Chain A
């Protein structure tokens, strides 16, 4: 059955189907499909889960089961325009990772996991970003911010046009 109001656009469905020949089983398209939806909507609402399941011939619960495992896809509301992942693992923590995270949160007026009220920025903790040679670091969108300091965080916030507290 096709839901009357589609979350998935024709472009998204075409992008998902373009990957289908790569896998012998359509269930393997689950993660690629969720990424395609998330790249475009910045979240994967439950309605999209149902539609992805229909497209792949799965039960919605099967898709939701995989999705929820990763704690990666937002579901209730879109993430901010920029998703900033600040590394908290050991190499970054040794070089001030927690301090730059605290600075970012204070300036942006959010706690880790929250989105600024202007919807521009979601701040999240990350486990090792694999850039320990540039610790402390942050992945914001597809940009890796290296050797962070509070000053560099201020520059990042100004660049992202987030309205700062203090």
Chain B
């Protein structure tokens, strides 16, 4: 760790880091030139498989393996979609990569397209990132001018076009089949799988969806090699033959109650405590930390006592969280009410549920109404158990929804009520001293919604 040098963020702070000239001064596009002349697409897939790279967008699926799911000898077209609909609360590493070093993203995109034999790549970019849009479009224009995009790239037989596609502020478009539906011009309702996108995706054609940070990693792995990537992070657990390990550097987004919020690159496996102390300058206002989100709000919550959990792909799961997610760490200090935290989380998911699956649509809305009722001093102890029931019954894991949004909605509820049960009960008893033990149904309050 002490001798770790940032690679994905190496360009940050350099003058004009977003230009092709700057990226090439730092060694950019050399790997692309070499690959197009010396390597076959299957060689690139083999490199990425051997590296152990797992998708950085949240699910952590092995990238090389995902690519091999494409049908062999398909007549085409095959599509590559780059997921830049970064909407998980607390997450902003894609924004920084696109704004500060867009050519690293594009080199990775071109290499990924070469590996998957895609001739068209769409970058689905969220509406909320106008600065990223401008930087990415300028970088794409520079690539066409330099012969890195278009027909017969660098004299090879490989052709590729990259297009930006603007979203319209919907969290669900970050789900890969929701993204595909949105790109096709429909409402962004996630698809039932199978068929998986690799078999039938965008415009009914084989499709790979990869995250911005994932393709940035692809660029660095092809340039620096498999051994470099595997020398960083947490090796697979020898006792678990199904553990693919957590290799490589990761961009951790640190925000909330720390002195220096920011995006920091560290080897996979750093702990929340190390992030706060080494990068975040400690908890703000000389306060103590109470809890932290380990990887975007969907992943649930860690208590302060769990801050030594390694933030690799399997770490957060060992303390009851959903997973590493986007590795966005949000720190809550000792003054934060967990009921307020839960309210914020429930409001987010009630707003962003796409409405397709009843358990998610109704469950997220019902949980918000219950939390509002608790905050209005009309909560009952029974409500905590009802919330817990919602949290454990909506989602892909209990098998009641098509996509994982509902799992993400349920996890903060489950974690908060299990890990902070005493505080939640105290809140209910304190704010509703005469009614907390009541069991009859209580009318719901009207939802305040200004969007």
Please give the residue numbers on chain A whose beta carbons come within 8 Å of chain B beta carbons, in ascending order.
22-25, 27-32, 34-35, 56, 65-66, 69-73, 85, 88-91, 93-95, 111-113, 124-135, 139, 142, 144
Contact = CB atoms under 8 A, between A and B. Distances in A.
Contact of B348 (A29, A89, A94, A112): A89
A130 B256 contact: no
B87 A128 contact: yes
Contact of A133 (B188, B253, B297): B253
B255 interface: yes
Contacts, number: 148
B330 interface: yes
Given A111-B450, A127-B352, A130-B95, A70 B330 contact: no
B90 interface: yes
A29 to B, nearest CB: 7
Contacts of A90: 89-90, 256, 293, 297, 330, 341, 344-345, 348
Given A31-B185, A124-B450, A144-B131, A132 B171 contact: no
Given A27-B185, A133-B255, A128 B91 contact: yes
B171 A130 contact: no
A139 B128 contact: yes
Interface string B166-203: 11111100000000001111111000000000000001
Interface of B: 77, 86-92, 94-95, 120, 126-131, 161, 163, 165-171, 182-188, 203, 253-257, 261-263, 293, 297, 328, 330, 332, 336, 341, 344-345, 347-348, 351-352, 354, 450-451
Contact of A94 (B171, B186, B328, B336): B336
A25 B188 contact: no
A29 B347 CA distance: 32
B131 A142 contact: yes
Contacts of B328: 132
Nearest to A35: B166
A66 B168 CA distance: 11
B282 to A, nearest CB: 16
Contacts of A31: 165-168, 182-183, 185
Contacts of A93: 344
Nearest to B85: A130
Nearest to A24: B203
19 contacts: A22-B120, A29-B185, A31-B167, A31-B183, A66-B185, A69-B170, A70-B188, A89-B297, A90-B345, A111-B450, A112-B451, A125-B451, A127-B169, A130-B91, A130-B92, A130-B128, A133-B253, A139-B128, A139-B130
Contact of A32 (B91, B130, B166, B170): B166
A34 B90 CA distance: 29
Given A70-B169, A135-B261, A85 B297 contact: no
A35 B257 CA distance: 36
Contacts of A129: 128
Contacts of A89: 89-90, 297, 344, 348
Contacts of A94: 255-257, 330, 332, 336
A25 B89 CA distance: 33
B159 to A, nearest CB: 14
Contacts of B253: 132-133
A133 B168 contact: no
A125 B95 CA distance: 20
A17 B51 CA distance: 42
A106 B424 CA distance: 32
The 8 closest A-B pairs by CB, nearest first: A112-B450, A30-B185, A132-B255, A69-B187, A142-B130, A27-B185, A70-B168, A91-B255
